[in-house]
Amino acid sequence: MTIPSRPIYLDCQATTPVDHRVVEAMLPYFSDCPGNPSSNTHLYGWEAKSAVDLARETLAGAIGAAPREIVFTSGATEANNLAIKGVAEAYMTKGRHLITMQTEHNAVLEPCKYLEKLGFEVTYLPPQTDGLLAVKVLKAAIRPDTILVSVMAANNEIGVLQPLADIGQLCHQHQVLFHTDAAQAVGKIPLDVEAMHIDLLSITGHKLYGPKGIGALYVRNRHPYVQVAPQLHGGGQERNIRSGTLPTAQIVGLGTAIALGIAEQVAEAERLKQLRNHLWQQLQVLDNIYLNGHPQQRLPGCLSVSFAGVDGAALLLGVQPYVALSSGSACASSKPSPSHVLTALGHSPKLAQATLRFGLGRFTSLDDVERAARQVVGTVQRLRSQK
């Protein structure tokens, strides 16, 4: 097979290409409309503020929030840090116990580890073998001094969708705040912070065909009013929760990306589900392969598969000239250790490393999927025959 000049892109859980409609919406705010949204004495500032306000309304509407509850950040990593550290600092007199899952993104796990060094206690709940959290396990872990539960909406490696409404209801009954990292979920699946009793929710742009470097944190300010201690201090922007000059163009891009995602959500989810299922069928000509995570309760475009009997590094190396994908989280792809998500599911380190994550997206075609499947199947067969 001739090596293509550019491989097929199937790494949309790592990041997505910016939609050209998003780029077009952003362009005026780099040059023609250069105002600072905080400059309230002239036209350019008013233009920028109006654009920011519209994006804020769009984000709020997408998750059932009020515009004043949206705090813009540089991305989901900052939003997660702000939520976890900010709540811990604000509620430390009430309690110093937090709960999360072993399978969370490092942008949640690392802030939790940081808080442990400061005297907080964190309980890391294991997933079931299908990647889902058993709500009864969470219920048993809640204590009188628990102040926050953080469980991601959609896992970035295996795509499983956690039972947010059940988790939120349990937290609400125990008067514990509930935060969810929804970086992979916003615009892809229905989310409603009221129905799901979510108190804090992290958003990013680059997982939904928007620009990198922009995100948001939803902070509930009604029933209950959630306090978050700021982690950045300066000009007092964003209700004094997150200081810093607002990047108007990126905020416009985020708002546009989410608006497009919501408008096209139902049709795109069905299209991606069909492509994902077709890919899984094509791969099943191989024996000893394992689908990671719940077979139905998952993101439409995410497929994580482990291939027994092959070396993980050789598998990835054999596929990469033809298909751009990863074995797990892009944030940890340079680390030689196996995925903490897959080992939490019970995989051996060797099987965890022999895993491919297929991230299908808006611009993925049926031909892309079939060519990728042929390449993966051929690579696995070749590696197994060499043993």
Domain ranges of the chain: 8-18+266-379, 20-263
**pTM of the complete model:** 0.96
Same fold, 8-18+266-379 and 20-263: no
Of 33, 112, 302, 331, catalytic: 331
Q: 386: which DSSP letter?
A: T
The pLDDT of residue 15: 97
First to last CA, the chain: 22
The pLDDT of residue 337: 79
The pLDDT of residue 317: 94
Q: How far apart are CA 326 and CA 339, in angstroms?
A: 11
Bridge partners for 302 per DSSP = 359
186 CB-near residues (< 8 Å, 6+ apart): 62, 63, 203, 207, 208, 258, 261
| Whether residue 112 lies in the annotated active site | no
Name the maximum alpha-carbon separation found in the chain: 73
pLDDT tens track for 77-126: 999 999 999 999 999 999 999 999 999 999 999 999 999 999 999 999 99
Ranges of residues in the chain whose predicted pLDDT is under 50: none
The pLDDT of residue 327: 84
- CATH of region 20-263, choose from 3.40.640.10, 3.90.1150.10, 3.40.50.300, 3.30.43.10: 3.40.640.10
The pLDDT of residue 5: 80
Q: How far apart are CA 83 and CA 228, in angstroms?
A: 7
Q: What is the CATH number of domain 8-18+266-379?
A: 3.90.1150.10
The pLDDT of residue 336: 63
Q: How far apart are CA 28 and CA 23, in angstroms?
A: 10
DSSP characters over 110-141: HHHHHHHHTT-EEEEEPPPTTSPPPHHHHHHH
Residue 281: CB atoms within 10 A of its CB come to 10
